[in-house]
Structure 1
Amino acid sequence: MAGGHQLTRADTTASPLNDLTLHHGSHRNLLTLVTEPPLGPGEVDAIIVPTARRAAHLKRAVELAAKLRCTLVTLNSKWSSAAATRRMFLQTGVDIAAVNMDDVSPALLPEIGTTSLLAGTPFARGTDTSRKRNLGLLIARMAGWKHVVFLDDDIDIPDHQHLTDAVRLLHRFDGVGLTVGGYPDNSVVCHAHRETGGFQDTFVGGGALAVNAASCESFFPDVYNEDWFFLLNDTRLRPIAKTTGLAVQKPYDPFANEQRARTEEFGDVLAEGVFWLLDQGKRVQDASVDYWRKFLAKRLGFINDVLLRVDDADMGAAERERMKSALRAARGRCTLVTPELCVQYLRAWRTDRGKWRRHLERHDRISTELGQPSIDDVLLLLGISQPSNLTSTVHSSRVSSNVSSGSHSR
């Protein structure tokens, strides 16, 4: 026992098809696994949800915010809107700061070099998930929140106490993730690896992640596996823990559209390549052109190996063809990735980290001059207005909401 909770290095389970010369099916040994709930105070200041689904999908997040008596920040786009979110949950009494991303000025966040590097190439991502999460970090920082939880709108936390347990660990870890149950959160290629008999684990991710916003200087780059890069410092993985608290991922079909595999491949190559080095005790800076040349050959060998296994897998003919089509799409995209691009991307990413730190420092000075601004004040400072009659004071006063809430502490 240490500090009221048990810490262990996570184990990696082997499999006959877990060929470590081509693919690392787990990076758990980089994490600290917390097997018992920690003791001491723990208060979630806010839950931040990047959402593109209709407001009804936020019901569980609203219930969590009510039970934890914290602010809920929703960052809305596509089929999700701030107005619909406010209307649907107005009577809950939960303090909801709903933001339409279309109303957010591009100048509010710094220009990211990694995004510019990929613009106009087949590797440009074309989603706004990273932008939403970065805005959430900025809002949390200016509001003076320490303990925030990033939560995806397709993830459910059955027991709100598991989030309290997670933030109690933030005094010694930079990030704390829950154990993701339900449908595994992996790339298309890694899903195919698992479904054809390979050992494939899941890592800590931004879908259910507690962070200390007051001290966090990382950002989410606009690339698949952006949360893995968020967890890094300039050299290696920051102190990150994983608890046995449960987060349930809703099921989806990773092979429904082969474009998903194409879109993911560059980020999957980068993240798996960097974490392969970390597994060996090396640094991010050790990812040289020569290293990437060898790793890209391994990646293609890995995809080809999975493709060969598909024909022998226990699945229907239609599912088999969809899986093979997705794997071929990933392989085709992988052949376009060059060692030089990987090196350029990581160099730009390190520059972006410094740019993001300076951006946070400038906004820290603004919020310091104002004392401790409320969430409404922060949004107004950022040029994001909120109707005054549609917000409450749950965050500042920690009063009970109208939604049934449970105990706030053990």
Structure 2
Amino acid sequence: MKTSEIRKLFPILHQDVNGHPLVYLDNAATSHKPVSVIEAVKKYYEWDNSNVHRGVHTLGSRATDAYEGAREKVARFLNARSTEEIIFTRGTTTAINLVAASYARSVCREGDEIVITPMEHHSNLIPWQQVAKATGATLKYIPLQADGTIRLEDVEATITDKTKMVAVTYVSNVLGVINPVKQIAEIAHRHGAKILVDGAQSTPHLKVDLQQLDCDFYAFSGHKMCAPTGIGALYGKKELLEKMEPVEFGGEMIDHVDLYESTWKELPWKFEGGTPIIAGAVGLGAAIDFLTEIGLGEIDKHEKQLTAYAMERITQIEGVSIYGPRENRAGLITFNLGDIHPHDVATVLDAEGVAVRAGHHCCQPLMRWLEVSATARASFYLYNNEDDVDRFIAALLKTKEYFGHAIG
């Protein structure tokens, strides 16, 4: 499907912002929703709205079928072995916290190690800080190279037989680095450690095969892949999930309740206490259908071509600093324009109808490693095109002209 045809399927793109046609380049923060996803959520609320797994009436049965059908789509999309291994959550953050609180706290002891990288989003950093504080384990970091990448030699040197948990992002939301998670998983397993992969920035853009990656846990959010906000999932290997205790208790996740003791339902429901995010799951299923029809390979190819074009254009602007590798990177460019504060850059771009992100991107330790307080970021998705890039570059040139004294 051509990009021009894809764009027609996203209603939000067809509007003016500050008197200019919208150019949306903040996809690493959240993506927009196609008509098919919007209609799926609307249909659920108009026709099937009911709680799941409880009522025997028709609406309850339809809602349950839609909810569990979405789980089946997630399992196929990621090539999980079973729907039992797919836990619906509010998103990546909740999924990582579940593993940290339930699995890591139960296996880590004083003297054990938890290994992560300095490029992690706060959601894949702070939970491990808390586990280390609670258990006495040591938090260790795989060092970064000058371009923000990591070397497998350093992974080998950092992970030891004391390592119990490795947690690493598949794709950096700042650097655009695509980490070799399959090889990192092999190293972790060789030392008896388990690995969690933060898939927030990979799942919307790359074909993910969990059996090939052989990670123990994988977390992602729906809203970055054309689905509604507030829905995501945790994948965990069945043998690990079965040993883990729930972290939320109440209705839906119980099997038998006495006054002083209770037992839990089987997987995956023992981790889904309370009324689940039913409409979100329905929307996630519709988003997976949409992305599957277009093809993750085509999306990846399109984004790589668009990023290469954008990189060629932006590097011609004097005074621009680019962070992360120049090649083999995901579809985003993080940058600074001379001494202009990124918030000022984003404000001028917004006045031209161009939406980018500015700030520390929930990666404060990485900002300190880069020796900056903040950066601006343009991130691309399947509905962006070269015209968007040209508008972005033109707005940057206008910003440079406006703040000319701060360049060079």
Normalized against structure 1, the TM-score is what? 0.26
Structure of greater Rg: 2
Normalized against structure 2, the TM-score is what? 0.26
